[in-house]
Amino acid sequence: MATCGEILVKLMEAYGIECAFGIPGTHTIELYRGLPQTNIRHVTPRHEQGAGFMADGYARLTGKPAACMTVSGPGALNIATAMGQALQDSVPMLVISADNNTFEKGLGEGRLHETRNLQAAMAECSVWSHTLARADELPKVMARAFAIFNSERPGPVHISMPLNVTTSNADHVPMDLWAIPSRPAAAPAQLQQAADLLNESQRPVIALGGGAADAAEWVRALAEKLDAPVSLTHNAKGILPVDHSLHVDTSPSYQPVRDLYLDADVVLGIGTEFSESDYDFFFNGEFALGGKLIRIDIDATQLTRNVRPDIAIRADAQLATEALLPLINESRRNGSQRTAQVKELLAPLNHPGYQAFLDAFQVALPGAAVIGDSTQPAYFGAAQYHAPAPRRFASAATGYGTLGYALPAAFGAKLAKPDLPVISLIGDGGLQFTINELSTAIEAKISVAVVVWNNERYEMIAQNFVDAGMEPIACDIYTPNFLKIAEGYGCPAHRAESIEHLIELLRQAQKVDVPTIIEVREQDFIQA
Amino acid sequence: MVENSKAVASCGEALVKLLEAYGVDTVFGIPGVHTLELYRGLPSSNVRHVLTRHEQGAGFMADGYARVSGKPGVAFVITGPGLTNISTAIGQAYSDSIPMLVISSVNETNTLGKGWGRLHETKNQRAITEPLTAFSATAYRAEDIPDLIARAFAVFNSERPRPVHLEIPMDVLASPVAYDWSNELRIARSRPQAEPKLISAAADLLKASKRPVIIAGGGALDAAESLLAIAEKLTAPVFTTVAGKGIVSPQHELHGGANLCMSPAWDYLEQADLVLAIGTELADTDMWRDTLPIKGDIIRIDIDARKLNDLYPAKIGILADAMGAAHQLNQAIDSLETKPSVVADVANLKNGILQEQAELQQKHLAVLACVKNHLPAEGFIATDMTQISYTGNYGFESEGTRSWLHPTGFGTLGYGLPAGIGAKIAAPERAGLVLAGDGGFLYTLQELATAVEEIHTPFVVLLWNNDSLGQIRDDMIAMDIPTVGVSPVNPNYTMLAKAFSCQTYKPQSLDELESCLEEAFKYMGVSFIEMHDSSVDIAQ
């Protein structure tokens, strides 16, 4: 007999899931029965939040979902934060959690891991949350999950598996996969209107978000034809080559970039939310547009948020850009000069200490992916770090703003791209949230350079306290000895004394099959 | 010093004062951009802030604080990740009826539900906490807060205690108060008392019974005195759940212990003609079977009406606070002749349980016996989800209530260390021990930093290391499932504890464990003892 739990892992494999993260428990044992018969790699994190962040890192680099498997109750709630981060950043992720028997639900009898209504909680952190009632529905449910990952704005999908459903007989369930729906293309009439507006424009600007990550080739051609400067969010970094003359690779929260937007007669926004954590990093509410706005987004409701478009095109970024391209007349619009002007104004705003530090990553390891946490250098990285390609930079400072993301997410990224160097950039406060995952990486032989920015305090919060007219409270914290901790986990650990030393250590970290902790003390790199 | 020139108190400042007026002396949390205004009033209050290293730690600490003190544990968390991080701990507190007040920020009122992608934005935070709390509410105006806090304390004091979540939008937190409500106490302290007719009916049943048994749960912790008197009058053995440990002294001849998961106790219950179940859910997590084989009538006393007729329909169901009802019941019962055979049966039952322990459990019991030898009087033990704790749930005899903390219902890994820290902060004069397994400990080990920062009296972390998720591995083998993901590569725990500045020990035998415990309980700070299961030789 094949159980529903066994066909679930088979379906996961058939849909291309390569990696599953989970901590087995009494309630998920039956999900593990069929796993060894698949080619899915199972990695055991040390906390379910780690499972979620690893799946996130995996998806950021590949665009493909990984799976997470958790027990009901605490296991499911433990992963909620990682799902929240994935939801805010539109990252695909398949979360399977166990649940109590169908016939026990809602009775409140105090069963192990019982939650009054787990799905209600998980729904708030997912695009779609579903409790499976019968094995028969599983193929349809999986089809819908992958329709979301492939054909809509992606995000986490949660499937809750009651124990009695997981163990039920599924021999009769047809295993044919449902067709994956197509992605929406742009309506021709609107596309023509957009092209007309752009062709008539004098000072167009392109705003890119993470939704455009897979449209790099067409976006670049479009920018060159229009001769328009291109501004990017965190999740769009790398879409244009670093040294491209139209590349305004810094945060749109900085005034010179804001002036560029204000001065533009037409802005073309592609796959971007225009949201606070990229466009109003300093919370002053002063981002504004001076001209017309064309927005392209796969999510219809996103087109109604934050900034009002004159033309709103609901479409996949790549399909829309590709279709728009032939409608655009090539014309010179001083794009390079406008870009150069912005860069000149930005130069004095860039912090030289952080610049040298951030530049070291690509100098040491060309092409490396960098996964940042909510930490000072990652905040500066929004403006001053330049990614070598799309899907090579992610940071938890956007959207949900989670601490502890960058360590497990970097491990997930490395699992997705074993041949690519991966760097985790994390602060001393953030690292303590998820430091337990070092064990996972040792066990799974994951080589990541973990750069720990140590200022022995919650620096950002301390600054916020001062700005709000208060003495910082609970910001100067007892900080353990990270080098010794790393040693305790079995990781090589070093303190970088200089940029040159950091570069050397980053390279050295590639030679071992476990994480290397590289502690960087703020005072050694940043002049007070 | 930063100048604070604001004349009018903000909502956040008034809230801290109000909490102080309600008797809150400690909050657990991590400040963030969104909660700054909650922190503004802290320095001028007498409320102690304990900084944790993850919000789940704040939640478990608040839980441990509440279990030891009986007072609600309070946590401050930020919007979004802070709230989802603490949600597991809220779920644990809900399962075990622990009073807890979680105050979080949420994005500005005008942005709620818009999906603009604001920092820390969540679709609907309250929908997440609603299934995990007695209630979850949003304060849309500063002046809503005295009402909502009063309602929270009504839950804590007058009904089945459970966590409460209050979210306050950032604009409301920062807004000036319209009037000073910071001392506006509205305390409902009354608890429901039993209907006298039902008490006399219950007394009649008990007096007429030949072989009554009392089962006391976590809801009956404050009813210990009356329950013991009733037990003595009836010669009725008292079994407790894990949450009820310590209600009867283990030296007492009617102490049946927390043995409801052991077959000799099931046999005994099967012969009982009447069961008085008080302040207990009778949930399967305490029984290790679906339902107990109770053949006789059941009298249930519970503060939660829904518990009176669920898995075990009551012959007489009394909706009442356990302490008051036990007191009334005791007054309605006269002393009966003692039944020496019952006393002998109880002794036999406990012996029988000791005899049937398998080798693994015998190992656990040997370690727990060392702990018992050295734990100072009034000491408490905070336990994690690990096999040695499961053995201790029945096998370790607590001398008093509020001394054995275990995440029974929700069953959360990583509970032990932070819960122990919270308990220690509630009762610094009591020695504390944390009992954690190698898997569970890694869930929340970062809170060792909180422990060394905050604790300067004896606090011992005893790590039971079997290099596996032992229970799950054993289950997989029993169910013919390949052992996937249960035999982890573990760190060098002792080195980790050293890196957190703990005093560390790694005993190689039970004798060495004895001397380590003795030293550790004298050390004014955090000690860490790693005991590997291979170092325990019970053949000695």
**Closest Cα in chain B, distance from residue A64 (Å):** 22
Three-point CA angle B302, B234, B216, nearest 5°: 30
Nearest C-alpha in A relative to B120: A400
Q: Are residues B525 and B443 in the same domain?
A: yes
Q: Name which of B118, B447, B450, B502 to mutate to probe chain A: the one with the most chain A Cβ atoms within 10 A of its Cβ.
A: B118
Element (H, E) at A64: none
**Closest Cα in chain B, distance from residue A361 (Å):** 27
Is the pLDDT reported for residue A150 higher than 60? yes
Is the pLDDT reported for residue A381 higher than 50? yes
Task: Convert the pLDDT of each residue in B41-52 to its tens digit.
Answer: 999 999 999 999
Task: Convert the pLDDT of each residue in B102-132 to its tens digit.
Answer: 999 999 999 999 999 999 999 999 999 999 9
Q: Are residues B118 and B164 in the same domain?
A: yes
Of the three residues B157, B184, B211, the one that is the final residue of a domain is: B184
Distance CA B226, CA B502 (A): 43
Distances (CA, A) of A360 to A364, A386, A454, A502, B112: 6, 11, 17, 7, 41
Whole-number mean pLDDT of chain A? 96
Output the CA torsion sign for B515, B518, B521, B522: negative
Print burial letters for A217-249: b (CB count within 10 Å at least 16), e (below 16): ebbbebbbbbbbbbbbbbbbbbbbeeebbbbbb
Is the pLDDT reported for residue B284 higher than 70? yes
A–B CB contacts, 8 A cutoff, strictly below: 281
For residue B62, is it left (φ>0), alpha (ψ between -120 and 50) or beta?
alpha
Q: What is the pLDDT of residue B382?
A: 98
Task: Check if the beta carbon of residue A403 is closer than 8 Å to that of residue B77.
Answer: no
Angle at which helix A352-364 crosses helix A499-508, to 10 degrees, equals 30
Backbone angles phi, psi at A111, to 5 degrees: -70, 160
Residues of B with CB below 8 A from A117's CB? 130-131
Note whether ipTM > 0.85 here.
yes
Q: What is the pLDDT of residue A158?
A: 98
> Chain A neighbours among B 424-453 (CB < 8 Å)?
439, 442-443, 445-446, 448-449, 452-453
Return the bridge partners of A292, or none.
A266
Of the three residues B149, B184, B219, the one that is the final residue of a domain is: B184
Backbone angles phi, psi at B456, to 5 degrees: -130, 25
Of the three residues B317, B335, B351, the one that is the final residue of a domain is: B351
Q: Are residues B172 and B212 in the same domain?
A: no
Residues of A with CB below 8 A from B506's CB? none
Element (H, E) at B462: strand B459-465
Task: Check if the beta carbon of residue B170 is closer than 8 Å to that of residue B78.
Answer: no
Q: Is residue B149 part of a domain?
A: yes
Distance CA B58, CA B73 (A): 9
> Chain B neighbours among A 37-66 (CB < 8 Å)?
42, 44, 46-47, 49
With cut-offs at 50, 70 and 90, classify the pLDDT of residue B7.
low
Q: Give one DSSP letter per residue of B411-433, joined into a string.
A: --TT-HHHHHHHHHHH-TTS-EE
Q: Are residues B61 and B154 in the same domain?
A: yes
Task: Convert the pLDDT of each residue in B313-355 to its tens digit.
Answer: 999 999 999 999 999 999 999 988 889 999 999 999 999 999 9
Backbone angles phi, psi at B243, to 5 degrees: -70, -20
Q: Mean pLDDT across the stretch B486-510?
A: 94
**Closest Cα in chain B, distance from residue A340 (Å):** 30
* Contact between chains at B128 and A80 (C-beta distance less than 8 A): yes
Q: Mean pLDDT across the stretch B267-283?
A: 97
Single out the residue of A268, A273, A279, A271 nearest to residue A327, CA to CA: A268
Q: Are residues B334 and B364 in the same domain?
A: no
Q: Is residue B217 part of a domain?
A: yes
Q: From the list B121, B122, B488, which residue is nearest A443 (CB)? A: B488
- Which stretches of A414-524 are assigned E, i.e. beta strand? 422-427, 449-454, 493-495, 516-521
Q: Which of B31-35, B190-194, B275-279: highest mean pLDDT? A: B275-279
Nearest C-alpha in A relative to B304: A108
Q: Is residue B340 part of a domain?
A: yes
Task: Convert the pLDDT of each residue in A247-267 to its tens digit.
Answer: 999 999 999 999 999 999 999
Residue B152 one-letter amino acid: A
Is the pLDDT reported for residue A35 higher than 80? yes
Q: What is the pLDDT of residue B3?
A: 43
Q: What is the pLDDT of residue B468?
A: 80
Distance CA A440, CA A24 (A): 14
Q: Is residue B3 part of a domain?
A: no
Q: Is residue B265 part of a domain?
A: yes
Distance CA A484, CA A492 (A): 10
Distance CA B202, CA B190 (A): 23
With cut-offs at 50, 70 and 90, classify the pLDDT of residue B540.
low
Q: What is the pLDDT of residue B4?
A: 44
Task: Convert the pLDDT of each residue in B387-415 to its tens digit.
Answer: 999 999 999 999 999 999 999 999 999 99
Q: What is the pLDDT of residue B147?
A: 96
Helix (H, G, I), strand (E, B) or coil at B102: strand
With cut-offs at 50, 70 and 90, classify the pLDDT of residue B5.
very low
Single out the residue of A294, A295, A293, A296 nearest to residue A315, CA to CA: A296
Q: Are residues B389 and B478 in the same domain?
A: yes
Distances (CA, A) of B318 to A156, A426, B96, B326: 46, 56, 21, 11
Q: Are residues B245 and B274 in the same domain?
A: yes
Widest CA span in chain B: 76
- DSSP letter for A182, please: P
With cut-offs at 50, 70 and 90, classify the pLDDT of residue A528.
low
Is the pLDDT reported for residue B189 higher than 90? no
* Contact between chains at B484 and A277 (C-beta distance less than 8 A): no
With cut-offs at 50, 70 and 90, classify the pLDDT of residue A167.
very high
Element (H, E) at A198: helix A188-200
In CATH terms, the fold of domain A350-525 is: Rossmann fold (3.40.50)
Q: Name which of A114, A428, A481 to mutate to probe chain B: the one with the most chain B Cβ atoms within 10 A of its Cβ.
A: A114
B19 is written with which tokens? 């909490």
With cut-offs at 50, 70 and 90, classify the pLDDT of residue A160.
very high
> Chain A neighbours among B 262-281 (CB < 8 Å)?
281
Q: Is residue B388 part of a domain?
A: yes
Q: Are residues B200 and B170 in the same domain?
A: no
Task: Convert the pLDDT of each residue in A205-237 to its tens digit.
Answer: 999 999 999 999 999 999 999 999 999 999 999
Q: What is the CATH number of the domain that holds B487?
A: 3.40.50.970
Residues of B with CB below 8 A from A273's CB? 116-117
> Chain A neighbours among B 182-201 (CB < 8 Å)?
none
Q: What is the pLDDT of residue B299?
A: 98
Q: Name which of B413, B448, B490, B504 to mutate to probe chain A: the one with the most chain A Cβ atoms within 10 A of its Cβ.
A: B413
Q: Mean pLDDT across the stretch A396-418?
A: 96
Q: What is the CATH number of the domain that holds B237?
A: 3.40.50.1220
Residue with tokens 């698949």: A38
Q: Give percent of chain B with pLDDT exceeding 70.
A: 98
Note whether B131 contacts A: Cβ–Cβ < 8 A.
yes
Distance CA B430, CA B408 (A): 23
Higher-confidence position of B338 and B518: B518
Note whether B7 contacts A: Cβ–Cβ < 8 A.
no
For residue B402, is it left (φ>0), alpha (ψ between -120 and 50) or beta?
left
> Chain B neighbours among A 101-120 (CB < 8 Å)?
107-118, 120
Note whether B124 contacts A: Cβ–Cβ < 8 A.
yes
Q: What is the pLDDT of residue B8?
A: 65
Distance CA A522, CA A429 (A): 13
Q: What is the pLDDT of residue B469?
A: 78
Distances (CA, A) of A118 to A66, A99, A198: 22, 8, 48
Q: What is the pLDDT of residue B86?
A: 98
* Contact between chains at B484 and A36 (C-beta distance less than 8 A): yes
B388 is written with which tokens? 């040695």
**Burial class of A116 by CB neighbour count within 10 A (0 to 12, 13 to 18, 19+):** middle
Q: From the list A78, A109, A400, which residue is nearest B88 (CB)? A: A78
Task: Convert the pLDDT of each residue in A103-144 to its tens digit.
Answer: 998 888 889 999 999 999 999 999 999 999 999 999 999 999
> Chain A neighbours among B 485-504 (CB < 8 Å)?
485-486, 488-496, 498-501
Residues of A with CB below 8 A from B29's CB? 474
Look up the CATH number of domain A188-347.
Answer: 3.40.50.1220
Q: Are residues B111 and B13 in the same domain?
A: yes
Q: Are residues B203 and B247 in the same domain?
A: yes
Task: Check if the beta carbon of residue A426 is closer than 8 Å to that of residue A451.
Answer: yes
B227 is written with which tokens? 């329950």
Distance CA A320, CA A239 (A): 16
Domain count, chain B: 3
For residue A437, is it left (φ>0), alpha (ψ between -120 and 50) or beta?
alpha
Class of domain A4-166: alpha beta
With cut-offs at 50, 70 and 90, classify the pLDDT of residue A456.
confident
In the β-sheet with A292-297, what is the strand arrangement from edge to edge? A247-248, A230-232, A204-208, A266-270, A292-297, A311-314
- What A380-383 contacts at long range (C-beta under 8 Å, 24+ apart), as own/partner pairs, is A380/A351, A380/A354, A381/A354, A381/A425, A382/A234, A382/A250, A382/A251, A382/A253, A382/A278, A382/A281, A383/A250, A383/A251, A383/A254, A383/A346, A383/A349, A383/A350
Q: Give percent of chain A with pLDDT exceeding 90.
A: 90
Backbone angles phi, psi at B216, to 5 degrees: -115, 135
Is the pLDDT reported for residue A398 higher than 90? no
Q: From the list A24, A473, A489, which residue is nearest B491 (CB)? A: A489
Task: Convert the pLDDT of each residue in A479-512 to its tens digit.
Answer: 999 999 999 999 999 999 999 999 999 999 999 9
- DSSP letter for A471, please: -
Widest CA span in chain A: 72
Note whether A456 contacts B: Cβ–Cβ < 8 A.
no
Distances (CA, A) of B117 to A275, A281, A376, B113, B168: 5, 12, 21, 10, 19
Within 13 Å, how many C-alpha atoms sit on residue B44's CB side? 14
SS3 content of chain B, % helix, strand, coil (to 5): 45, 15, 40
Q: Is residue B190 part of a domain?
A: no
Contacts of A436 (CB under 8 A, 6+ apart): A46, A47, A50, B442, B443, B445, B446
Three-point CA angle A248, A254, A257, nearest 5°: 40
Q: Are residues B113 and B232 in the same domain?
A: no
Listed by start position, the domains of chain A span 4-166, 188-347, 350-525
> Chain A neighbours among B 97-116 (CB < 8 Å)?
114-116
Task: Check if the beta carbon of residue B342 is closer than 8 Å to that of residue B210.
Answer: no
**Burial class of A133 by CB neighbour count within 10 A (0 to 12, 13 to 18, 19+):** exposed
Helix (H, G, I), strand (E, B) or coil at B125: helix
Chain-centroid distance, C-alpha B56: 14
With cut-offs at 50, 70 and 90, classify the pLDDT of residue B67.
very high
Q: Is residue B191 part of a domain?
A: no
**Residue B121 domain boundaries:** 9-184
Q: Are residues B114 and B217 in the same domain?
A: no
Print burial letters for A425-448: b (CB count within 10 Å at least 16), e (below 16): bbbbbbbbbbbbbbbbbbbbebbb
Q: From the list B306, B411, B439, which residue is nearest A74 (CB)? A: B411
Q: Do A4-166 and A188-347 share a fold? A: yes
